[in-house]
């Protein structure tokens, strides 16, 4: 399907299964378009694509925060986190994020997985922290057979996300809870958008420098 704004949107050889890359969406978002306009374009695309668009990324460290930072928060009715076994057969599961908008669902499917420390770090840095920083955790549900709200408590949220990933035991659990707590604090202090990410990085860097110095 050719679209005047998004370009070629692949049907993956299957009727009604449309997809495009996260990188392409982020490039469009980075052109300075206002959130309201970008969100309207996504909704328009969803109406053309039978209400479902798969957003692919071939890495385990997707630039997810750029996408959700360019969608109007008020336009997101729900975010759903789920485990999938059809993305990478060499791991127990990968995580996916479904963003519910007025006209349908964006299915974000990178290679988030928790099978080793560096991959678990990426789940925290590129998925859970952005959700807390943008205060979208309050709209997020975990779907592990049945839906439940993502916990507001950072320790419980970290536990939930790795239980969902099918790799519940993580050696850096304490660090992850601290990082998510920083993200929650930044959001509660009124930071938003890119300023929230800058403040978060500042707090995390200061904390780690203190830890190394002690």
Give Cα 181 to chain centroid, integer Å.
Answer: 17
Residue 108: what pLDDT?
98
The model's confidence at residue 209, banded by pLDDT at 50, 70 and 90, is: confident
Q: How far apart are CA 86 and CA 129, in angstroms?
A: 25
| pLDDT value of residue 208 | 82
Query: Tell me, what's the pLDDT at 13?
Result: 64
List, for residues 15-32, the tens digit of each pLDDT value. Answer: 668 999 999 999 999 898
Angle subtended by helix axes 193-213 and 173-188, to nearest 10: 140
Task: Tell me whether residue 129 is exposed, middle or buried, using C-beta atoms within 10 angstroms of its C-beta: 0 to 12, 13 to 18, 19 or more.
Answer: buried
Q: Which of 65, 63, 72 is nearest to 39 (CA)?
A: 72
What is the share, in percent, of the chain residues with pLDDT greater than 70?
Answer: 97
Q: Residue 80's closest CA among 163, 138, 140?
A: 140
- Write the pLDDT tens digit of every residue in 45-95: 999 999 999 999 999 999 999 999 999 999 999 999 999 999 999 999 999
Sequence-separated (6 or more) residues with CB below 8 Å from residue 18: 1, 9, 10, 11, 12, 49, 50, 52, 53, 54
In 57-161 the beta strands, taken as DSSP E runs, fall at 78-84, 94-101, 104-112, 140-143, 147-149
For the whole model, what pTM was predicted? Answer: 0.95
- The HSE-up count of residue 166 (CA atoms within 13 Å, CB side) is 14
Tokens of residue 61, six digits: 């460290």
Inter-helix orientation angle 173-188/154-164, to 10°: 120
pLDDT for 114-130, tens place per residue? 999 999 999 999 999 99
> Could you count the other beta carbons within 10 Å of the beta carbon of residue 81?
24
Q: Confidence band (pLDDT; 50, 70, 90) for 132? A: very high
């Amino acid at each position: 399907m050719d679209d005047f704004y998004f370009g070629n949107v692949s049907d993956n050889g299957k009727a009604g299964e449309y997809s495009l890359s996260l990188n392409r969406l982020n490039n469009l978002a980075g052109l300075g378009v206002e959130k309201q306009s970008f969100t309207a374009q996504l909704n328009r695309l969803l109406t053309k694509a039978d209400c479902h668009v798969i957003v692919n990324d071939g890495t385990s460290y997707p630039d997810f925060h750029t996408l959700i930072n360019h969608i109007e928060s008020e336009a997101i009715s729900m975010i759903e986190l789920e485990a999938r076994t059809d993305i990478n057969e060499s791991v127990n599961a990968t995580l996916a994020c479904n963003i519910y908008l007025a006209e349908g669902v964006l299915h974000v499917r990178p290679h988030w997985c928790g099978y080793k420390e560096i991959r678990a770090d990426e789940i925290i840095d590129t998925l859970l922290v952005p959700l807390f920083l943008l205060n979208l955790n309050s709209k997020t549900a975990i779907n592990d057979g049945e839906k439940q709200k993502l916990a507001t408590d950072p320790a419980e949220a970290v536990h939930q996300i790795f239980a969902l990933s099918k790799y519940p035991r993580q050696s850096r659990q304490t660090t992850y809870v601290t990082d998510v707590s920083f993200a929650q604090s930044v959001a509660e202090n009124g930071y938003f958008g890119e300023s929230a990410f800058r403040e978060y990085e500042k707090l995390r860097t200061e904390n780690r420098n203190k830890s190394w110095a002690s």
